[in-house]
Structure 1
């Protein structure tokens, strides 16, 4: 699965939240300053070409919807991220964030609990 650019990911986040939307609906959900209609329309068409977005025709307009779930994209992205930055080791990633004080003891305990539950 291809990795999304920052602009593409921002639009996908909106589509994942809304389930389906016209370009004007996507723009409404985006933070200020709002991008131009043509910019969003172009990015949505690129997402369509990449296989991330499908559409339904409604008169002269297209209503777009995600073809790939947020969970599936996140899983693919994280696998690539961990592979590139932590030699494929999730343990190294957790260790890095723990050392950077980005992962509290409470969060680490929660992770351990989730791992124990998964093994059971």
Structure 2
């Protein structure tokens, strides 16, 4: 299941905040061009697709992400590597590291991770 960009924005909020009402999600989207009813409709569609669950036991419906953040990130990354980098993980890593936004701490973490991969 591939979430759309708008669905990904909502999932990000649900992953960070946990269970949330439509009002909470809508306020966190910080988008002036989208009305509350649009957010509500999108979350209803996500419920129908099985991306989120919905608790209707109280007046305010509460939604929870059913897709795991890690699994969704993995699917997007795999698809991006295949389509944008022609299946080359090395090209992706070199492009990402060459963007001049990688801190020394991040480079140290990457080195430690690579060393761990070599040892396993």
TM-score range, shorter chain: 0.7 to 0.9
Length, aligned pairs only:
119
Runs of 4+ in 1 over 6 A off after TM superposition: none
Please give the TM-score of this superposition, normalised by the length of structure 2.
0.82
Q: CA 1:117/1:6 → structure 2, altered by over 3 Å: closer, same or farther?
A: same
Instruction: Determine the C-alpha separation between the residues in 2 that align with 1:10 and 1:42.
Output: 14
Please give the TM-score of this superposition, normalised by the length of structure 1.
0.82
Match of 1:77?
76
Greater CA deviation, 86-95 or 104-113? Answer: 104-113
CA RMSD in angstroms comes to 2.2
Q: Where do 5+ consecutive residues of structure 2 fail to align?
A: none
Q: Where do 5+ consecutive residues of structure 1 fail to align?
A: none
Match of 2:110?
111
Deviation string, structure 1 residues 33-91 (Cα, Å, up to 9, x no partner): 27311100111012122221111112344211000111111111111111111122211
